[in-house]
Amino acid sequence: MVRRLFIAGNWKMNTSSSRAVELAEQVAGALAYVDNIDLAVFPPFVYLSQVAEVLKGTALAVGAQDCFYEDNGAFTGEISTAMLKDVGCSYVIIGHSERRHVIGEADELINRKVLKAVGDGLKPILCVGELLEQRQADETDEVVSRQVKIGLEGLGKADVLNVTIAYEPVWAIGTGETATPEQAQQAHAMIRQLLGELYGGSVAQSVRIQYGGSVKPDNAAELLACPDIDGALVGGASLKVTDFAGIVAGGR
Ligand code: PGA
């Protein structure tokens, strides 16, 4: 099974209404030629509708940076999956390292969100990754396996095919420090092996595993050339059109 590359731009808590629209227009223009890679951008919630409107009919899909696991009700500040679909999202990032380590989200909460997103027809990007001290203590495999196992708990084989896993070592996010292609490939291969144990070899071969953490135009090609790296989750560089376009070009 050939996995199409998937390059995603996580805008995090950046842009303004006018900048979000401008950036979306520029990115769509710069990547209009792409037909062999899946592309998506993840603006802040409040700009989703505007960005989705601009990107209608282009090669770029729109996703949200988080969601909640209930449909509606007294959950002040939360956003449901139905709301996200209503404004044109097809993807949602769940368990991003900043939500785990800045906001304090735990694996069980992340799992509820993944189940809800898949159940409601959104395609989640489940983010996993170890802290620097965990890598130094040789705990990477253990930490990442636990995050994958709990994050996917309760999903059947058909459902897992709608999930993308993003391996993002926490020490590489927004730091300018990137995992070497060898380190990244090793973690991705470990995740794929685990998916094989959980869901069987053919599912494991079909699930996309993205790398994230300071992906830039000058390191994208060698990362994306690794056999188990099926795309990139790009943060900082997705705010610069030439950088994002350069990363996509590196994946071709
Ligand atoms: P970065 O962020 O590319 O700025 O390191 C990646 C991410 O957080 O998804």
DSSP secondary structure, 77-118, as one string? T---HHHHHHTT--EEEES-HHIIIII---HHHHHHHHHHHH
Position 120 scores a pLDDT of 98
Using CA positions, which residue lies closest to atom 9 of ligand 1? Answer: 235
**Is the CB of residue 173 below 6 angstroms from any atom belonging to ligand 1?**
yes
Residue whose CB lies within 8 A of the most ligand 1 atoms, among 6, 7, 10, for a mutation test:
10
Any ligand 1 atom below 6 A from CB of 231: no
Cβ-based neighbours of 81, under 8 Å, separated by 6 or more: 67, 68, 71, 92, 116, 117, 120, 122
Q: Is 25 a catalytic residue?
A: no
- CA 188 – CA 173 distance, rounded (Å): 17
Residue 148 burial by Cβ neighbours in a 10 Å radius (0-12, 13-18, 19+)? buried
Please say if the pLDDT value at position 177 is more than 90: no
Could you read off the pLDDT of 192-219 as tens digits, one per residue? 999 999 999 999 999 999 999 999 999 9
Ligand 1 centroid distance, CA of 95 (Å)? 13
Most ligand 1 atoms within 8 A of CB, residue of 100, 214, 247 to mutate: 214
Q: How far apart are CA 169 and CA 165, in angstroms?
A: 13
pLDDT tens digits, one per residue of 39-50: 999 999 999 999
| Cα dihedral 157→203→112→7 (10° resolution) | -140
Percentage with pLDDT > 70 across the chain? 100
Q: What is the DSSP string of 129-196?
A: ---HHHHHTT-HHHHHHHHHHHHHTT--HHHHTT-EEEE--GGGTTSS----HHHHHHHHHHHHHHHH
Write the CA distances from 142 to 47, 92, 153, 242, integer angstroms.
37, 25, 16, 37
101 lines ligand 1 (CB under 6 A): no
Active site residue 188: no
10 Cβ closer than 6 Å to some ligand 1 atom: yes
**Of the listed ranges 74-78, 162-166, 176-180, 212-216, the one predicted with least confidence:** 176-180
Q: Residue 17 has which token pair?
A: 């209404």
Q: What pLDDT shows up at residue 203?
A: 97
**The pLDDT of residue 174:** 85
The Cα 248–Cα 94 span in angstroms is 23
Q: Which structure tokens are listed for 60?
A: 């770029």
User: How much is the pLDDT for 1?
Assistant: 61
Classify 252 as helix, strand or coil.
coil
Ligand 1 centroid – CA 102 distance (Å): 14
- Ligand 1 centre to CA of 206 (Å) is 24
Q: Ligand 1 centre and the CA of 159: distance in Å?
A: 26
* Nearest-10 Cα torsion for 237, 241, 247, 251: 150
Q: pLDDT tens digits, residue range 10-44?
A: 999 999 999 999 999 999 999 999 999 999 999 99
Integer-rounded Cα radius of gyration of the chain: 17
Cβ-contact 192, 204 below 8 angstroms:
yes
Average pLDDT over residues 82-88: 98
Q: In angstroms, what CA-CA distances link 75 with 67, 70, 72, 80?
A: 12, 8, 7, 10
| Domains (range + CATH), the chain | 6-250 (3.20.20.70)
Ligand 1 mutation target, pool 96, 128, 173, 244, most atoms within 8 A of CB:
173
Mean pLDDT of the chain: 97
Q: Of 15-19, 22-26, 148-152, 177-181, where does mean pLDDT reach its minimum? A: 177-181
Give 149 Cα–ligand 1 centroid separation in angstroms: 23
When pLDDT is cut at 50, 70 and 90, the band that residue 110 belongs to is very high
Is the Cβ atom of 235 under 6 angstroms away from ligand 1? yes
Q: Is the CB of 125 under 6 A from ligand 1?
A: no
Q: Which of 98, 105, 168, 188 is catalytic?
A: 168
